[in-house]
Structure 1
Amino acid sequence: MSRIPFYGLVGLLLLAGIALTLYRHLAFDVPWSPGEQRQVWEVEAQVNFIADGGPARVELALPVTQQGYRVLTENTASSGYGLSFLQEQGVRHAQWAIRKAAGAQRLYYSVQVLVDPRARATPAPPPVIESPVAWEPPYDTAAREIIDQAWRHSADPFTFAHRLVERFTDAQSENARLLLTQYDRATLLVRLLNQAGVAARQVSGLSLEDGRRRQHLTPWLEVFDGRERILVDPVTGRRGRPDNLLLWGAGSPAVLEVQGGSRSQVSFSMIRHNEPAAVAVRNQRAEDTLLNFSIHSLPLEEQSLFKTILLIPIGALVVVILRVLVGIKTSGTFMPVLIALAFIQTSLLTGVVGFLLVVAVGLVIRSYLSYLNLLLVARVSAVIITVIAIISLFSVLAYRLGLNAGLTITFFPMIILSWTIERMSILWEEEGPREVLIQGGGSLLTAVLAFLAMNNPWVRHLTFNFIGLQLILMALILTLGNYTGYRLLELRRFKPLAED
């Protein structure tokens, strides 16, 4: 029979598992290792204005995910105001409204921003060039002369913008001083660029500095050349975006608009802190799609349940390796996996001691039940009740003696322990105590090794955050299930040949 379909299935599972795992890491920044930290900035915007006594409406442009920064969570505080979030042409606004407000008003908006080198901004269309740009005499002549001088010493829109900024840093330029009496620098530079046919707009940026208070936005120029865009500092002419610059309301003509009030202003406070990477990723506003399939979308109670369930395939892989490749005998196929799960709840030492005590006492009582000649169902039921009684008795004794760790023995799977005692008792009668020790010891060894694999922090982190690993484990188990060679413990039969 051809094995091509089998190997094709294994290869498909491997490829699908690896692809899903890599996608989760690359697209959503899920870390490979537990304990990784991510830098998060918490920025608070405070809006202050004097209300006129009638209806008031306030619109504040908001930051969006952009190059190097990803918006995690946002909150507002605005007593008595109605709040809504609006989005128009890629620009997000928070809009506060109230029917009647008088006197000093204060509104708050806070946002958590994750420093993420993989974050990319959604490309925004370039601004429409204002044409023609209207100037009043003598400003039209001064603007034309500055444009002509900068144009002759430039090669593209970016160098042209740099030359324009240089003209306004030149203290000897009378034309620049004249134009600055009419417009602020950033607005003036945008008008000059548009007059020269260069698409540009003014954007606002916030310099992130840990622990700073009452900071204000600074204007920047965003210049387009048809294929790419670049930020230009209107004061120094430096091109490129600084690492600590957070664009606020990029593409919005105004950051703050207030109707029904006066003397409005917005100031910012910020603080930097680190969060575990898993928490930061969980707070991301990523869309819930099938490709972003994760347990994190479930309620916390179900997440805790699945965090344990997803470890079972690891224990199953350990059992397959030990039974198929090594040749260890166990009492029950996957009973050691369930015992290992109990060890996770009880701790290893407490679990091993509790397992040995329950099984030993259960075997003694089961030996007595064998003299009663009961039917199988009744005998197993009696063993189950006996196991429950043994666990209850040990728990009470542990509590009376002040051994709180002994209370966790209740996590043992009682039905599985009962069947284990039943099978070991039958094995004792049919094969003798040696075989009982072999299978019992093999079961305990397998459970301990499965516990060590399942309780590893790396394993717990990977299985919970990367569902694709389940497909990889399935492929490995299928491959091991195809093995028909000698087991490691069977090689002892060839020892006399080696000695000869």
Structure 2
Amino acid sequence: MSRLPFYLLTGLLIVAGIALSIHRHVEFEVPWTPGEKRQVWEVEAQVDFVGQGDPVIVDMALPGPQQGYRLLTENTASSGFGLSFLEDERGRRAQWSIREASGPQQLYYSAQMLVAPQAKRPDTPPPKLKKLVWEPPFDAAAKQVIERAHQRSADAYTFARELIRDFTGDRQGENVRLLLTQFEQVPLLVKLLNEAGVHARQVSGLLLEDGRRRQSLTSWLQVYNAKGDWVLFNPYTGEQGRPENLLLWEDRGEAVLDVEGGSNSRVYFSMIEHNQPAAAAVRNQLSNDTLLNFSIHSLPLEDQALFQTILLIPIGALMVVFLRVLVGIKTSGTFMPVLIALAFIQTTLLTGLIGFLLVVAVGLVIRNYLSYLNLLLVARVSAVIITVIAIIAIFSVLSYRFGLNAGLTITFFPMIILAWTIERMSILWEEEGPKEVLIQGGGSLLTAVLAYLAMNNPWVRHITFNFLGVQLILLALILLLGNYTGYRLLELKRFKPVTES
């Protein structure tokens, strides 16, 4: 029978597991190694205004999805005010409201922004250009300024650069100076670009510097080209591109702050930089999993902790298959060592080994007595289970009395599995003798220790918990090992005399 379908299946599992893991790392920035740090900026906006005793509505722009940054968390402090988060064609905005406000008022909004180089701003098509009306003599001046920059440009970006340069230094002509008497520079540049048929808008950004307080937003120019890209320009130097430390706070060309029912409104920003573990930094984005971003981070934390242990079982299963199929180690029960290894994770290795040996040794003595009673199998195993529970309870009480708190963790051992292990070893002692019991018991304990060392590795715990595609790779490896029909390493000793002769 052809083995091609089998190898195609295992190859497909490995490729799928690797692809899912790489997609998770690249798209959602889940780190490959534990302990990695991520740069996070905590930015606080303070809104000040004076209430006039009337109903008040405060509308403030909020940072949205953008290149280089991803929103982690956001919080507000607004005593007595109602609060709503809105999202429409104007972008993300916070709206505070109150029936009556008098005197100085302060509102706070804070956000944690993760520095994420892979983050991108979603495509937003520009709005339809509106017909502009210029009053004389500004209409003639605007036309001449546009024509002059247009002759020295080739596309929307070069036109924007040349137009900005005509507003700086010695290149500032009489027409520009005339227009500046009526308009501010950034809104004027937007108006001139729109007049020339180029989509442009004024946006507001915050230059991030660690430890700065009472900072204001700066104005920037965004220009849209035929390829569908918005590109940022410094409206005072003509420099193209977004600085690395620029956080766009408002990117739709709308007002940053709008206060109805108050006066003297202004907004200040404070910021601080800190690093935090990458796992915590990306947990917020992973909690909104889709089918393609399947993970267990969307579950409650209690269930996540449970699955963190469950996802280690395939590692132990792979270790058992390797040791039994390739090495030839005998164990008492197929996957009993995996469950014992899970108990070792809870108890620590030394405490678990001592507890396991004590329980099994005492259990074998009691099981030896039960064999003289000629009980049926079900009754005998049930009696062993009750005996194991009693042994564990006695050891826990004694360890507590002697101040050995580590002994209390012996309760993590799977009692049913221990009872069946004692039953199997007792029958094996009667049928094969104590040597076979030592071989299988020692093999089980060695396999459990090696499985524990593999499962308790911080790298393994991190990879299995954060990259579910690894489970497909483990499945493929187990299938490949299960297809092995050659000699085991320990069997080579049996054939050594043949090779010598």
- Give the shorter-chain TM-score range: over 0.9
Matches within 5 A, 1:13-412: 13-89=13-89, 91-131=91-131, 133-171=132-170, 173-227=173-227, 228-284=229-285, 287-412=288-413
Partner of 2:444: 443
Deviates more, 1:490-499 or 1:242-251: 490-499
Report the CA distance shift for 1:475/1:388 in structure 2 as closer, same or farther (over 3 A): same
Whether the 8 Å CA contact 2:363–2:387 is kept in 1: the answer is yes
Whether the 8 Å CA contact 1:90–1:124 is kept in 2: the answer is no
- Listed as ranges, the gaps of 5+ residues in structure 1 are none
Partner of 2:466: 465
Paired with 2:314 and 2:150, the residues of 1 have a C-alpha distance of 68
**SS of aligned partner of 1:387:** helix
Paired with 2:80 and 2:484, the residues of 1 have a C-alpha distance of 71
Whether the 8 Å CA contact 2:20–2:469 is kept in 1: the answer is yes
Letter aligned with residue 405 of structure 2: N
Whether the 8 Å CA contact 1:91–1:252 is kept in 2: the answer is no
Partner of 2:3: 3
Paired with 1:492 and 1:144, the residues of 2 have a C-alpha distance of 96
What do residues 172-220 of structure 1 show as CA deviations (whole Å, max 9, x unaligned)?
6333333222211101111122222222111111101111111111010
Displacement of 1:463? 1.1
What do residues 214-264 of structure 1 show as CA deviations (whole Å, max 9, x unaligned)?
111101011122213311111111111100101112013211111111111
Whether the 8 Å CA contact 2:28–2:286 is kept in 1: the answer is no
Deviates more, 1:417-426 or 1:222-231: 222-231
Displacement of 1:438? 0.4
- Indicate the percent of aligned positions where both proteins have the same amino acid: 72
Deviates more, 1:243-252 or 1:373-382: 373-382
**SS of aligned partner of 1:122:** coil
Displacement of 1:302? 1.1
**SS of aligned partner of 1:497:** helix
Paired with 1:237 and 1:289, the residues of 2 have a C-alpha distance of 41
**SS of aligned partner of 1:402:** coil
Letter aligned with residue 149 of structure 1: R
- Listed as ranges, the gaps of 5+ residues in structure 2 are none
TM-score, structure 1 normalization:
0.96
Letter aligned with residue 40 of structure 1: V
Displacement of 1:147? 2.5
**SS of aligned partner of 1:237:** coil
**SS of aligned partner of 1:55:** strand
Report the CA distance shift for 1:278/1:90 in structure 2 as closer, same or farther (over 3 A): farther
Paired with 1:111 and 1:187, the residues of 2 have a C-alpha distance of 28
**SS of aligned partner of 1:108:** strand
Deviates more, 1:70-79 or 1:239-248: 70-79
Letter aligned with residue 219 of structure 2: P
**SS of aligned partner of 1:34:** coil
Report the CA distance shift for 1:170/1:18 in structure 2 as closer, same or farther (over 3 A): same
Displacement of 1:325? 0.8
Report the CA distance shift for 1:285/1:167 in structure 2 as closer, same or farther (over 3 A): farther
Displacement of 1:286? 6.5
What do residues 438-481 of structure 1 show as CA deviations (whole Å, max 9, x unaligned)?
00000000000000010011111111111222222112112211
Displacement of 1:306? 1.0
TM-score, structure 2 normalization:
0.96
Whether the 8 Å CA contact 2:287–2:298 is kept in 1: the answer is no
Displacement of 1:296? 0.9
Letter aligned with residue 137 of structure 1: P
Paired with 2:442 and 2:184, the residues of 1 have a C-alpha distance of 83
Displacement of 1:331? 0.5
Paired with 1:77 and 1:252, the residues of 2 have a C-alpha distance of 26
**SS of aligned partner of 1:278:** helix
Whether the 8 Å CA contact 2:287–2:297 is kept in 1: the answer is no
**RMSD after superposition:** 1.7
Letter aligned with residue 128 of structure 1: K
Paired with 1:250 and 1:230, the residues of 2 have a C-alpha distance of 11
Whether the 8 Å CA contact 1:61–1:252 is kept in 2: the answer is no
